[in-house]
Structure 1
Amino acid sequence: MTNPFDDPQTQHRVLVNDEGQHALWPSFADVPAGWEAAFGPAAHAACLEYVELHWTDLTPRSARVATA
Protein backbone atom coordinates (compact mmCIF):
# COMPACT_ATOMS: atom_id res chain seq x y z
CA MET A 1 0.00 0.00 0.00
CA THR A 2 1.30 3.45 -0.94
CA ASN A 3 1.56 6.16 1.68
CA PRO A 4 -1.02 8.81 0.61
CA PHE A 5 1.41 11.57 1.62
CA ASP A 6 3.90 10.37 -1.01
CA ASP A 7 1.54 8.98 -3.66
CA PRO A 8 1.88 10.92 -6.93
CA GLN A 9 -1.62 9.73 -7.91
CA THR A 10 -3.25 11.40 -4.88
CA GLN A 11 -4.53 14.98 -5.09
CA HIS A 12 -2.81 17.17 -2.49
CA ARG A 13 -2.98 20.60 -0.94
CA VAL A 14 -0.08 22.75 0.16
CA LEU A 15 -0.55 23.79 3.77
CA VAL A 16 1.25 26.66 5.50
CA ASN A 17 1.55 27.27 9.23
CA ASP A 18 2.18 30.49 11.19
CA GLU A 19 5.94 29.93 10.91
CA GLY A 20 5.69 29.96 7.10
CA GLN A 21 6.53 26.27 6.88
CA HIS A 22 4.92 24.36 4.02
CA ALA A 23 3.61 20.79 3.88
CA LEU A 24 1.96 18.59 1.27
CA TRP A 25 -1.29 17.14 2.58
CA PRO A 26 -3.66 14.66 0.91
CA SER A 27 -6.79 16.51 -0.18
CA PHE A 28 -9.08 13.89 1.40
CA ALA A 29 -7.65 14.58 4.88
CA ASP A 30 -8.85 17.40 7.13
CA VAL A 31 -6.49 20.36 7.49
CA PRO A 32 -4.95 20.10 10.96
CA ALA A 33 -5.18 22.89 13.52
CA GLY A 34 -2.52 25.55 13.05
CA TRP A 35 -2.31 25.06 9.29
CA GLU A 36 -4.21 26.56 6.37
CA ALA A 37 -4.48 25.60 2.73
CA ALA A 38 -2.41 27.80 0.43
CA PHE A 39 -2.70 25.83 -2.83
CA GLY A 40 -4.67 22.98 -4.31
CA PRO A 41 -6.14 20.51 -4.44
CA ALA A 42 -3.82 19.65 -7.31
CA ALA A 43 -1.51 16.93 -8.54
CA HIS A 44 1.41 16.00 -6.29
CA ALA A 45 3.93 17.43 -8.80
CA ALA A 46 2.07 20.76 -9.02
CA CYS A 47 2.09 21.04 -5.24
CA LEU A 48 5.84 20.35 -5.12
CA GLU A 49 6.38 23.05 -7.73
CA TYR A 50 4.30 25.50 -5.67
CA VAL A 51 6.41 24.77 -2.59
CA GLU A 52 9.67 25.23 -4.50
CA LEU A 53 8.49 28.61 -5.81
CA HIS A 54 7.02 29.95 -2.56
CA TRP A 55 9.04 28.46 0.32
CA THR A 56 12.40 29.98 -0.50
CA ASP A 57 13.65 30.48 3.08
CA LEU A 58 13.36 27.37 5.23
CA THR A 59 14.08 29.33 8.41
CA PRO A 60 10.93 29.54 10.58
CA ARG A 61 9.39 33.03 10.65
CA SER A 62 10.00 33.44 14.41
CA ALA A 63 13.74 32.79 13.96
CA ARG A 64 13.96 35.31 11.10
CA VAL A 65 12.19 37.95 13.21
CA ALA A 66 14.39 37.25 16.25
CA THR A 67 17.58 37.81 14.26
CA ALA A 68 16.36 40.92 12.42
Structure 2
Amino acid sequence: MFEDDDRRRYAVVRNHEDQYSVWPEDRAAPEGWALVGVAGSKSECLAHISAVWTDLRPLSQRS
Protein backbone atom coordinates (compact mmCIF):
# COMPACT_ATOMS: atom_id res chain seq x y z
CA MET A 1 0.00 0.00 0.00
CA PHE A 2 1.23 3.51 -0.78
CA GLU A 3 0.91 4.69 2.82
CA ASP A 4 3.99 2.70 3.79
CA ASP A 5 6.12 3.39 0.70
CA ASP A 6 8.35 6.28 1.76
CA ARG A 7 10.19 6.29 -1.60
CA ARG A 8 7.10 7.54 -3.40
CA ARG A 9 6.71 11.26 -4.14
CA TYR A 10 3.74 12.98 -2.61
CA ALA A 11 1.87 16.22 -3.12
CA VAL A 12 0.17 18.34 -0.48
CA VAL A 13 -3.58 18.75 -0.98
CA ARG A 14 -6.12 20.97 0.78
CA ASN A 15 -9.91 20.82 0.94
CA HIS A 16 -12.58 23.53 1.19
CA GLU A 17 -12.38 23.35 5.00
CA ASP A 18 -8.68 24.32 4.84
CA GLN A 19 -7.60 20.84 5.97
CA TYR A 20 -4.41 19.35 4.56
CA SER A 21 -3.24 15.90 3.57
CA VAL A 22 -0.58 14.17 1.49
CA TRP A 23 -1.49 12.37 -1.73
CA PRO A 24 0.61 10.35 -4.18
CA GLU A 25 1.97 12.82 -6.73
CA ASP A 26 1.26 10.49 -9.65
CA ARG A 27 -2.49 10.39 -8.90
CA ALA A 28 -5.09 13.06 -9.49
CA ALA A 29 -6.17 14.85 -6.33
CA PRO A 30 -9.27 13.26 -4.84
CA GLU A 31 -12.61 14.94 -5.37
CA GLY A 32 -12.98 17.94 -3.08
CA TRP A 33 -9.21 18.39 -2.66
CA ALA A 34 -6.83 20.69 -4.54
CA LEU A 35 -3.07 20.62 -5.01
CA VAL A 36 -1.30 23.43 -3.14
CA GLY A 37 1.91 23.36 -5.17
CA VAL A 38 4.15 21.53 -2.70
CA ALA A 39 5.55 18.07 -3.50
CA GLY A 40 8.38 15.84 -2.35
CA SER A 41 8.95 12.96 0.01
CA LYS A 42 6.23 12.15 2.51
CA SER A 43 8.32 13.65 5.32
CA GLU A 44 8.89 16.88 3.35
CA CYS A 45 5.17 17.21 2.66
CA LEU A 46 4.27 16.50 6.27
CA ALA A 47 6.80 19.11 7.43
CA HIS A 48 5.15 21.69 5.16
CA ILE A 49 1.71 20.78 6.48
CA SER A 50 2.95 21.05 10.05
CA ALA A 51 4.27 24.56 9.33
CA VAL A 52 1.13 25.91 7.64
CA TRP A 53 -1.74 24.05 9.26
CA THR A 54 -1.64 25.59 12.72
CA ASP A 55 -5.38 25.56 13.46
CA LEU A 56 -6.69 22.04 12.99
CA ARG A 57 -10.34 23.00 13.28
CA PRO A 58 -12.30 22.93 10.02
CA LEU A 59 -12.62 26.38 8.48
CA SER A 60 -16.37 26.38 9.14
CA GLN A 61 -15.71 25.95 12.89
CA ARG A 62 -13.30 28.87 13.24
CA SER A 63 -14.55 32.25 14.38
Moved over 3 A (4+): none
TM-score by length of structure 1 reads 0.82
How do 1:1-68 residues align onto structure 2 when only pairs under 5 Å count?
Answer: 3-64=1-62, 68=63
Q: Deviations over 1:13-46 (max 9, x none)?
A: 0100010100110011111121111133311111
TM-score by length of structure 2 reads 0.88
Structure 2: 5+ residue stretches without partners: none
Aligned length: 63
Structure 1: 5+ residue stretches without partners: none
Instruction: Specify the structure having the higher radius of gyration (Cα).
Output: 1
Q: In percent, how many aligned pairs have the same letter?
A: 32
